[in-house]
């Protein structure tokens, strides 16, 4: 099908290219980048021209003698004129298991003296080539700009990672490569870049569309790179990104453009399959950062992988630092939970379906990562409760929340933490695993309460525990309308707690072991076998309440 046949408007479609290393392909990407630089105010909003990374790769001698060198912040500042902003690219890539040239205390002096670009793996070499093609002098690559044999340097640089990408002129994303030897450029699938016409009839006539495959989904959601935990903040914070896949694409805060599709600057008759599937829906975005926005980030992050589990919180610290700059939210951040949204922050559950409903330990035991009430304490995909539901009543009173940062950075690694609240505990017993036919989307296990209540949905954080009687308790947190079923009754949502240890004080210390939901609906409808009227609803007597500490 020719370009003229599928063009439904006055403008031609974006060009397609024959080969993965096509000069025209790279020119098209750089053209999109240039358009962003000149016309997109949003893409400059968070840019800090005064901030300089600790180290960068200087490629000013790449064209002349094929060399690059490692330079320090002081050298970079000295090379800048007073009128010029520092501009550098950053590389986002998968490390893989193969060894390659990286910075350490032994070779730092040698790399600072200069080295042949040919010593670098293919992905790094091509990143140098693209950076030079853009017209920039500096490039940031984590393995070459952070000392790999220095724990102190890594801790310091990891806390700055968010700023590196936030202030990068453009991030080069090696989206398909599973190791640095595979390069940036890939052979295309030209058949997926083609479009075909579709006509829609309506009362006033018809309209003709050029329909494209949703390459944005293929590029962003199915690549090896976007399964990495670290890359989430790299992609969220970077103002501009070039995605190197079988369909190279440019993305910024105002536009997404690949060789067959753009989300901005195109006519209304250029659409994707995703648009056709959602013609009846409208998407409105508010400039106010909400808890749903935060948990969408956490939801995606919990489905990414990390080579080192100790990176669980620090790999998200750049995004958390950016969120903390909101005056409304503030910077009280504890193990992935904002004090501003502390109640919603506790309303999460393990996505049992992602585990295949198998019973095996998923909480970190050998290395401390986060308090048990934090989503960061489990090695599993999680589901939110709060963003999807309205809280109609609160049962718990917060009395304090704190964490102990290892290096004084609340957004980094932790050595401890606790939350204190006043509430009423209900003892649980008769733990059992549900038959496969009785399992719901969230629940594969069930308890009963000593006073006759039975949670409808139980999601355990870790099945490697002591489930004997008198060890597990239900802590009600909120009442929420349940819109997941036709009866639209309310549910009581809360935590499952177990004894952690008993201190010298009379107050008991617990750790979270799961999340449970008790429906107010008739037992025959909800499958719970009880009526909520049997439960003594608050306000409770003062003697029934206690200060509960969870670690």
For helices 229-237 and 317-324, the axis angle rounded to 10 degrees is: 40
Give the pLDDT of residue 537. 62
- The pTM of this model reads 0.81
Q: Quick: pLDDT tens for 251-291.
A: 888 888 876 555 554 333 333 333 332 322 222 233 456 77
| Peptide bond preceding 35 in cis form (omega within 30 of 0) | no
Sign of the Cα torsion 323, 325, 330, 335 reads positive
Question: For residue 211, is pLDDT > 80?
Answer: no
Give the pLDDT of residue 61. 95
Alpha carbons 502 and 510: distance in angstroms, whole number = 9
Question: For residue 65, is pLDDT > 60?
Answer: yes
For helices 229-237 and 291-301, the axis angle rounded to 10 degrees is: 140
Give the pLDDT of residue 387. 47
Question: What are the phi and psi torsion angles at 111 (to 5°)?
Answer: -65, -30
Asked if residue 485 lies in contact with residue 527, where contact means CB atoms within 8 angstroms, the answer is no
DSSP 412-444: S-EEEEEEEEEE--EEEEEEEEPPGGG--SS-S
What's the pLDDT band for 223 if we cut at 50, 70, 90? confident
* 529 vs 497, higher pLDDT: 497
Q: Quick: pLDDT tens for 304-321.
A: 989 889 999 999 999 999
Sign of the Cα torsion 273, 276, 281, 285 reads positive
Q: Quick: pLDDT tens for 368-425.
A: 999 999 999 998 899 877 545 577 888 999 999 999 999 889 999 999 999 999 998 8
**N-term to C-term CA, the chain:** 63
CA 45, distance to chain mean position in Å, is 21
Alpha carbons 427 and 403: distance in angstroms, whole number = 28
Question: For residue 432, is pLDDT > 50?
Answer: yes
What's the pLDDT band for 491 if we cut at 50, 70, 90? confident
Alpha carbons 311 and 367: distance in angstroms, whole number = 11
Sign of the Cα torsion 308, 313, 314, 318 reads positive
Asked if residue 172 lies in contact with residue 1, where contact means CB atoms within 8 angstroms, the answer is no
* 81 vs 70, higher pLDDT: 70
Q: Report which listed range, 251-255, 349-353, 409-413, 542-546, is most confident.
A: 409-413
Asked if residue 349 lies in contact with residue 459, where contact means CB atoms within 8 angstroms, the answer is yes
What's the pLDDT band for 96 if we cut at 50, 70, 90? confident
Alpha carbons 494 and 449: distance in angstroms, whole number = 13
**Residues in the chain, overall count:** 551
Q: 3-state SS of the chain: helix, strand, coil percent to 5? A: 30, 25, 45
Question: For residue 441, is pLDDT > 70?
Answer: no
Q: What percent of the chain has pLDDT over 90?
A: 37
Burial annotation 506-533 (CB, 10 A radius, 16+ → b, else e): eebbbbbbbbbbbbbbeeeebebebebe
Asked if residue 528 lies in contact with residue 519, where contact means CB atoms within 8 angstroms, the answer is yes
Q: What is the average per-residue pLDDT within 474-488?
A: 69
């Amino acid at each position: 099908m020719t370009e003229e046949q599928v063009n439904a408007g006055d403008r031609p479609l974006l060009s397609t290219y024959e080969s993965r290393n096509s000069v025209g392909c790279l020119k098209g990407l750089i053209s999109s980048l240039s358009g962003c630089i000149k016309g997109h105010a949003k893409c400059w909003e968070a840019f800090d021209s005064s901030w300089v990374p600790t180290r960068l790769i200087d490629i000013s001698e790449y064209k002349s003698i094929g060399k690059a060198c490692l330079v320090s912040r002081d050298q970079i500042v000295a090379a800048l004129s007073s009128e010029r902003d520092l501009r550098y690219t950053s590389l986002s890539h998968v490390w893989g298991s193969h060894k390659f040239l990286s910075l350490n205390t032994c070779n730092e002096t040698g790399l600072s003296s200069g080295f042949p670009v040919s010593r670098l793996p293919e992905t790094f070499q091509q990143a140098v080539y693209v950076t030079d093609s853009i017209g920039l002098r500096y490039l940031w690559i984590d393995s070459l700009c952070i000392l790999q044999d220095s724990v102190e340097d890594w801790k310091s640089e990891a806390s700055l990672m968010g700023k590196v990408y936030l202030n990068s002129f453009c991030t080069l994303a090696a989206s398909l490569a599973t190791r640095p030897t595979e390069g940036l450029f890939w052979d295309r699938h030209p058949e997926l870049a083609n479009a075909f016409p579709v006509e829609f009839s309506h009362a006033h006539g018809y309209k003709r569309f050029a329909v494209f495959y949703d390459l944005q989904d293929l590029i962003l959601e199915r690549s090896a790179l976007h399964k990495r935990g670290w890359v989430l903040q790299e992609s969220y914070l970077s103002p501009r990104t070039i995605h190197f896949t079988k369909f190279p694409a440019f993305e910024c805060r105002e536009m997404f453009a690949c060789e067959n599709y753009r989300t901005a600057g195109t006519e209304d008759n250029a659409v994707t399959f995703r648009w056709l599937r959602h013609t009846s829906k409208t998407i409105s975005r508010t400039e106010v950062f909400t808890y749903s926005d935060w948990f969408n980030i956490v939801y995606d992050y919990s489905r990414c992988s990390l080579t080192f589990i100790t990176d669980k919180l620090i790999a998200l610290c750049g995004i958390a630092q950016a969120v903390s700059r909101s005056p409304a939210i503030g910077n009280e951040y504890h193990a992935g939970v904002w004090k501003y949204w502390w109640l919603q922050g506790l309303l999460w559950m393990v996505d049992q379906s992602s585990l295949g409903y198998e019973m095996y330990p998923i909480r970190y035991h050998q290395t401390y990562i986060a308090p048990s009430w934090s989503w960061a304490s489990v090695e599993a995909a999680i589901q939110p409760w709060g963003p999807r539901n309205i809280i109609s009543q609160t049962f718990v009173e917060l009395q304090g929340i704190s964490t102990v940062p290892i290096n004084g950075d609340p957004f980094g690694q932790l050595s401890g933490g606790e939350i204190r609240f006043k509430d009423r505990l209900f003892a649980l017993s008769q733990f059992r695993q549900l038959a496969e036919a009785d399992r719901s989307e969230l629940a594969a296990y069930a308890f009963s309460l000593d006073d006759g209540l039975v949670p409808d949905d139980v999601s355990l954080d870790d099945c490697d525990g002591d489930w004997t009687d008198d060890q597990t308790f239900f802590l009600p947190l909120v009442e929420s309308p349940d819109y997941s079923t036709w009866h639209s009754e309310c549910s009581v949502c809360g935590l499952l707690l177990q004894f952690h240890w008993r201190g010298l004080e009379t107050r008991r210390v617990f750790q979270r072991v799961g999340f449970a939901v008790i429906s107010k609906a008739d037992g025959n409808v909800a499958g719970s076998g009880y009526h909520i009227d049997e439960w003594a609803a608050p306000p409770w007597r003062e003697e029934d309440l206690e200060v509960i500490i969870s670690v």
